[in-house]
Amino acid sequence: METVENRDALPSPGSRLRAAPPHALVATAGRILADLVGAEDMTLLMADYGLTVLQPVSHLPHTEPSVSAHEGPAGTAFITQKPVVEVLNERDTRLVHLPLTVRGDRVGVLSVRLRADVADPATVLRLGEFATELAHELAAADRDTDLYLQARRTRRLTLAAEMQWQLLPGRGCARQEYVIGAHLEPAYAVGGDNFDWSTSADRLVLTVTDGMGQGIDASLLTSLAVGALRNARRAGVGLADQAALADQALYAQYAGKVYASTLLLEFDLPTGTVRAVDAGSPHLYRQRDGRTERIELDAQLPLGMFEETPYAEQTFDVRPGDRLIAVSTGVHGARAATGEVFGESVLRQILGATRAATPHETARAVVGGLVEHFGGEQPVSDAAVVCLDWNGR
């Protein structure tokens, strides 16, 4: 057998990125862009855990002063997920800001300095494709290095938060049928709240879990609950049995002293039929035809409260254009230091005001509204919000 080689072929940008050591992705990307489009400079901006700022990465794990993730050219590219071309003071120079996204999970922004005569639409499109390749390589690099995880931090995470962030699938996911955006607060000190999802050709399973307690104890409880749910899901059992097996695992470990409230949803992607198990306290809302309604599910016992609790599935439907919002107790039951409850009316106002926003921004806005409602103070309890826009097939 003979191998075929093209000695004149140059490595593609993607293959050059894949061949780079994980710690050298930023420097390698700079060299590729200089060769590809004559880039004069390049900056990688990583979104921090709270999604408030973008941190320019210099000599990893160190970062330069951050910029807003919601304002300015870079923030606009991050929020809209579209390229933004900035005209600099030197009129013959452009700064192109490109979103870095991995299958709907927003990573940050790539800013590339170009000569004005080079920054045409075709080049911007080409740069966008490169930014997507770079985002995927950054995600893959997290398996082998801590550098990019460190670069996302404006301050140190608590140990409980470290455990929770490593447990999460990401903060967003997008397919033809749906777009998911999710947010956790306090981002740097979260303990027991979690969201998880898994998709296949015709199914999406989505869970929101609220582990009892705070800090390390809550994080350990939630880790066991999520691990048990994943183990059952990957064994191919149905939604009710996933809840039952996770319930048994928690009761075996804690004997009912602590428990985890969980909402389990399984979407049939071709039809929009949703199976649900409400095992505790997360609330679910649906926006359809300009109305916001809470989907009332039969409240069943939280996971691990009693031994061998039976669980039953319910069904409802989603239609193209629907939006679902799941919120943990830390949102719908939040109380200020004065005892004031956040309440469903305020939550509905926020959901109504953000209907035109993306799922990512809606999830962040709900937590932002919670903080604003209580005078700018961080939530006393963990708060998790998952927003899903259903497009259907």
Q: Output the average pLDDT for the chain.
A: 91
Question: Between the CA atoms of 373, 376, 378 and 383, what dihedral angle is there, to the nearest 10 degrees?
Answer: 30
pTM for this prediction: 0.91
Residue 380: predicted pLDDT? 64
Q: pLDDT confidence of 378, banded at 50, 70, 90? A: low
Residue 377: predicted pLDDT? 63
For 149-185, give the secondary structure using H, E and C: HHHCCCCCCCHHHHHHHHHCCCCEEECCCEEEEEEEE
Give the closest residue to 138 by CA, choosing from 170, 181, 174. Answer: 170
Residue 314: predicted pLDDT? 97
DSSP state of 256: T
Q: What is the share, in percent, of the chain residues with pLDDT greater than 90?
A: 81
Give φ, ψ of 158 to 5 degrees.
Answer: -70, 160
Q: 137 or 91: whose pLDDT is higher? A: 137
> Is the predicted pLDDT of residue 337 greater than 60, yes or no?
no
When pLDDT is averaged across residues 276-303 and rounded to a whole number, the result is: 94
Q: Can you tell me whether residue 211 is helix, strand or coil?
A: strand
> Is the predicted pLDDT of residue 75 greater than 60, yes or no?
yes
CA distance 370 to 211: 20
What are 268-288's pLDDT values in tens digits?
A: 999 999 999 999 988 999 999
What are 1-54's pLDDT values in tens digits?
A: 545 455 445 689 999 999 999 999 999 999 999 999 999 999 999 999 999 999
User: Beta strands of the chain (E only): which ranges?
Assistant: 41-47, 53-57, 67-68, 84-87, 93-102, 105-115, 172-174, 178-185, 193-199, 203-211, 260-268, 273-279, 283-288, 291-294, 314-317, 323-327, 383-390
When pLDDT is averaged across residues 281-303 and rounded to a whole number, the result is: 94
What are 184-229's pLDDT values in tens digits?
A: 989 999 989 999 999 999 999 999 999 999 899 999 999 999 999 9
Residue 86: predicted pLDDT? 95
What are 193-203's pLDDT values in tens digits?
A: 999 999 999 99
Q: pLDDT confidence of 363, banded at 50, 70, 90? A: very high
